[in-house]
Amino acid sequence: MDISTIILTLVWGVAIGCVYILLATGLNIIFGVMKLVNFAHGQLLMIGAYLTWTLTVTFGLNAYLAIVFTMPIVAVLGIAVERLTFRRILGTDKLNEIFISLGLIYIFENVALLIWGDRSKQIISPFNNMILDLSSISITYDRVVAVVVVVLALVAFGLLIKKTKIGLAMQATSQKDTAAQLMGVNIEKIYMITFALGAALAACAGGLYGIIFSFNYQIGAMPTIIGFAIIILGGLGSIKGAIVGGLLYGIAEQLATLFLGGIWGSAVAFALLIVVLIVRPKGIFGVKGE
């Protein structure tokens, strides 16, 4: 095994890690602002991938342009989900979130199965089969573009959180919702925007996922779990932590796949997650006493 294989694996790990970072960021703000755990987040990624595929195939759109159109559609879906289900159980037993998410997973996956069928699909991007050749390493353009798209999306997201009034209100709500409410923040509106943002990020991740990998209706579950693993590795509520965690995870998964074989990738990653959780039940950077 020469050094270029390892470098290539690292580069792949970064590209895949970027997709997971987007998903994890969405999960992270939903958890941060609403204190809600949406186990069905990966299914929004799956829906995003399918919608992007439909837009490119039926309307002949450029795949990356299709992602831009997919994001608001999934954001609206996210709003509907938040309004109809999660808002009604906010403040009840924490286990109810898990139950609702499971119901949503069953609904989303099987509706997708009915609409799009059970054959695997892949989104054909304009850079299909184009390879960036750097002497000993060659990687596909799509993976490079994926990294660029993720960086752009994260920068835009960061600006939204730090520089706008809505972002400020979201930060306030995440610190203490009742206090934010007393300061005149309409927290129900903030919850809605937060969920829509998270869903849009998941849709973007889904489009990129569908360009890099082939996908079917069942792909949502693993990315959700990986997203949680990343959040826990990087620290709850921290976007920087999610980025570091995502890159670490992507590289670890690719290295495990390279050295041990494909099936071990997720097992190794989970072993890592379980060890972290058992040693530090609230995550590496988790706050004590929540």
Partner 1 sequence: MNNMNTQKISQFVRSKAFLVIVGCFAILALVPLFITDNFFLTLLTLIIIFSIYASSWNLLASSGQGSLGHAVFLGIGGFASAMIGGSIATALAALSGLDRLPIGVASVTLQVLVMILGGLISAGLGLLIGLACVRLKAWYLAMVTFGFSVIVESVSSQLDFLTHGIDGFAPATLVPKGYPFYILVTASAFASILIMYLIMNKFRLGLAFRAIHGNEAEAKMIGINTAKYKLIAFVISTFFAGMAGSLYVYFIRYVDNSIFAPANSFAPLIMAVIGGLGTVIGPIIGAGILISVQQLLALPSVSEGLHGALGGFFPGIADVGPPLSLIIIGVILVLIVIFMPKGVISLYDKFNSSGEREKKKAPEEKKK
Q: Which of 7, 68, 139, 221 binds partner 1 (CB under 8 A)?
A: 221
Binding of partner 1 by 110 (CB under 8 A): yes
SS3 content of the chain, % helix, strand, coil (to 5): 75, 5, 20
Q: What is the Cα–Cα distance from 209 to 52, expressed in whole angstroms?
A: 10
Beta bridge partners of 140: 131
Told to check if 27 binds partner 1 by CB under 8 A, we report no
Identity of the residue, 64 or 228, whose beta carbon is nearer to partner 1 in the bound complex: 228
Give the residue among 193, 161, 227, 188 at the shortest CA–CA distance from 27: 227
* Diameter of the chain measured on Cα atoms: 61
**Interaction of residue 225 with partner 1, rule CB under 8 A:** yes
- Interface residues for partner 1 in 62-91 (CB under 8 A)? 85, 88-89
Question: What DSSP designation does 85 have?
Answer: I
Interface residue with partner 1 among 21, 29, 104, 203 (CB under 8 A) is 104
3-state secondary structure of 126: coil
Q: Taking CA 223 as the corner, what is the angle to CA 221 and CA 229, rounded to the nearest 5 degrees?
A: 110
Among 61, 107, 124, 144, binds partner 1 (CB under 8 A): 107
- φ and ψ at residue 40, rounded to 5 degrees: -90, 15
Piece in contact with partner 1 (CB under 8 A), picked from 21-29, 114-122, 176-184, 193-201: 114-122
Pick the closest to residue 48 from 98, 100, 121 (CA basis): 121
Q: Is 226 exposed, middle or buried (0-12, 13-18, 19+ CB in 10 A)?
A: buried
* Nearest residue to 248 via CA among 10, 28, 5, 29: 10
Position among 4, 59, 80, 118 found at the interface with partner 1 (CB under 8 A): 118
Q: Report 173-202 residues binding partner 1 (CB under 8 A).
A: none
With tokens 């020469």, the residue in question is 2
Give the interface segment with partner 1, choosing from 72-80, 111-119, 177-185, 207-215 (CB under 8 A): 111-119
Per CB under 8 A, 119 contacts partner 1: yes
Q: Does 259 bind partner 1 (CB under 8 A)?
A: no
Map tokens 């072993």 to a residue. 271
Q: Which is nearer to partner 1, 152 or 259 (CB)?
A: 259
Is 144 one of the binding residues for partner 1 (CB under 8 A)?
A: no
Q: Identify which range of 58-66, 142-150, 162-170, 278-286 contacts partner 1 by CB under 8 A.
A: 278-286
| Residue 287 interacts with partner 1 (CB under 8 A): yes or no | no
Q: Does 282 bind partner 1 (CB under 8 A)?
A: yes
Strand partners of residue 234: none
Q: Which residues bind partner 1 (CB under 8 A)?
A: 37, 39, 85, 88-89, 92-100, 102-107, 109-111, 113-119, 221, 225, 228-229, 232, 263-264, 266-267, 270-271, 273-274, 277-278, 281-282
